[in-house]
Amino acid sequence: MVTYRTPPCIFHTDTFYVSLPGGVLPDIIMDTACVNTPNGSAYATTYPGDTVTYHYLWQNSTGDTLSTTDTLAHVPSGNYTLQVKTAHCDTMLSFTIPEVDYRVSFQVDTLVCQGTRLHFQNTSDPHFSSFHWNFGDGDTIVFPSPEHRYLHPGRYEISLIGKSNICIDTAHRTITVDSLLSIKFHAHPGRICTGETIFFYPTAQDSTITGLHWQFGDGNATTSGIVQAWQHAYDTAGRLPVTLTTSFRACPDTSYTDTVMVYPLPYVDLGKDTSICLRGAPITLTNLAENRQGTYHYLWNTGDTSKKIQVRHPGEYSLKVSTEPLGCYTKETVRVTKDCYIDIPNAFTPNGDGNNDYFLPRKLLSKGVTGFKMDIYNRWGEKIFTTNNPIGRGWDGRFNGKPQPQGVYVYLIDVVYKNGKGEHYQGNVTLIR
């Protein structure tokens, strides 16, 4: 239908019928194209008995000429035009080659241990009819869902190519293969005495290690998340197994065991603190503890190297016992005090203030004294006080109930000790008022 105007202002509407002499317009038959692949096509079909001569011009959306035959091939999906010419007609047809999206895909563990058998699960669209795997280590296979084992650690680029009569697609994935490691350690020192410390050093640093679990052989254990040296002090003697169990991010745990030698300390027992009487018989100090078989060395603080010594004087005595092969030692000290003795003051103040009001050997160890007599004389030789009681009050500075004057007085003290020995003391004491 056409509308047009003739002068002066007359509008006309007419209808025209256009036909293609000798036939009809060709049909366009299209084949789809795969994603990002120039494998689409189209061709023009005529009908049997059609004697018209057709001329074709295929163009893309930018006007580029692609073909002048009745066929358009090897093009990607998109919009196209076909110009058809005959002796009497010129017609433009528009059409679209559709796109199909078929994808190749697969699933597999991307972090594995050396030597692990991997299963590659093919999850591609069912459109594909054949597959080609490249495992990145030189091996290939054409099974749909194969298995493969990596014998060496490293990173491998995996590719799967899927094909059909229309589309081809490729999928990629990277696999990391960890080394199958066995982590050991060395101990320094490997032999110690009880109570000392051993340092343990792992022999490898590797990023695939996730944890170290130490068992020290004495019932103690610890876990570390990083590879580092560890130390442990032993209070148990013996040949002890130390086990290091290493955990990895992909590979199975490994264990390594070595032994350390912890030597026992000698036993030393000098007994309880004791006492000795002056001029009395010496006492014997010796190690009362029983030690196991072995070679033992003795060293007293007196310089003696025998197992026992004779002590004649009060003081502190120590014994160091050491044993081979490392010289592990134990040391103990005993105190020997003076027994059977008196301690005589040189002054007293009998003023009734409750402090030093009496004269008597107050530090007397009465358990060591079996006989006692004390006499006090003034400067004229007159006896003004006497007592046989070693634990009494002593002299209060009086004679016949009367306070004596300040001055120097003479004492005579006779003592008999529990060992039967006797001592005589004579000296001066000052009475202060």
Please identify, among 317, 339, 361, the residue that sits at the C-terminal boundary of a domain. 339
**Interval 45-60: pLDDT, tens:** 987 777 788 999 999 9
- 369 within a domain of the structure (yes/no): yes
> Peptide bond before 202: cis, by omega within 30 degrees of 0?
no
- 14 within a domain of the structure (yes/no): no
Same domain, 77 and 153: no
348-384 burial: b if 16+ Cβ within 10 Å, else e: bbbeeeeeeeebbbeebbeebbeebebbbebeeeeeb
Which of 11-15, 20-24, 343-347 is most confident? 343-347
Q: Round to whole Å and give the CA distance between 273 and 279.
A: 19
Same domain, 96 and 110: no
| pLDDT computed for residue 418 by the predictor | 75
**Is the model's pLDDT at 85 over the cut of 60?**
yes
| pLDDT computed for residue 343 by the predictor | 72
| pLDDT computed for residue 281 by the predictor | 76
Same domain, 145 and 196: no
| pLDDT computed for residue 249 by the predictor | 95
User: Letter for the amino acid at 28?
Assistant: I
- 269 within a domain of the structure (yes/no): no
**Is the model's pLDDT at 116 over the cut of 80?**
yes
Instruction: Supply 287's token pair.
Output: 């190690």
* Arithmetic mean of pLDDT, 88-103: 92
Same domain, 315 and 330: yes
What is the count of structural domains for the chain? Answer: 5
**Interval 384-413: pLDDT, tens:** 999 998 888 899 999 999 999 999 999 999
Same domain, 50 and 34: yes
**Is the model's pLDDT at 21 over the cut of 60?**
no
- Whole-angstrom CA distances from 300 to 266, 272, 293, 323 are 15, 17, 21, 15
- 246 within a domain of the structure (yes/no): yes
- Decide if 63 contacts 83 (C-beta within 8 A): no
Q: Where does residue 279 fall: left (phi above 0), alpha (psi -120 to 50 degrees), or beta otherwise?
A: left
Question: Considering Cα of 65, then 70, then 75, then 77, what sign does the dihedral take?
Answer: positive
pTM for the predicted model, two decimal places: 0.62
Same domain, 314 and 293: yes
Please identify, among 262, 293, 309, the residue that sits at the C-terminal boundary of a domain. 262
Same domain, 335 and 368: no
- 21 within a domain of the structure (yes/no): no
CATH code of the domain in which 128 resides? 2.60.40.10
Same domain, 411 and 427: yes
Instruction: Supply 177's token pair.
Output: 């293969």
- 93 within a domain of the structure (yes/no): yes
- Decide if 332 contacts 319 (C-beta within 8 A): yes
Same domain, 405 and 352: yes
Q: What is the DSSP letter of 367?
A: G
Range(s) of the domain holding residue 202: 185-262
Same domain, 94 and 158: no
* Arithmetic mean of pLDDT, 278-307: 89
- 387 within a domain of the structure (yes/no): yes
| pLDDT computed for residue 4 by the predictor | 52
| pLDDT computed for residue 297 by the predictor | 95
| pLDDT computed for residue 17 by the predictor | 47
- 330 within a domain of the structure (yes/no): yes
* Arithmetic mean of pLDDT, 243-260: 96
What is the share, in percent, of the chain residues with pLDDT greater than 70?
A: 91
Same domain, 120 and 69: no
Q: Round to whole Å and give the CA distance between 320 and 339.
A: 26
Please identify, among 52, 85, 100, the residue that sits at the C-terminal boundary of a domain. 100
**Interval 191-221: pLDDT, tens:** 999 999 999 999 988 889 999 999 999 999 9
The mean pLDDT of the chain is 90
Q: Round to whole Å and give the CA distance between 31 and 323.
A: 97
Same domain, 356 and 394: yes
User: Of 171, 168, 170, which is closest to residue 38 (Cα–Cα)?
Assistant: 168
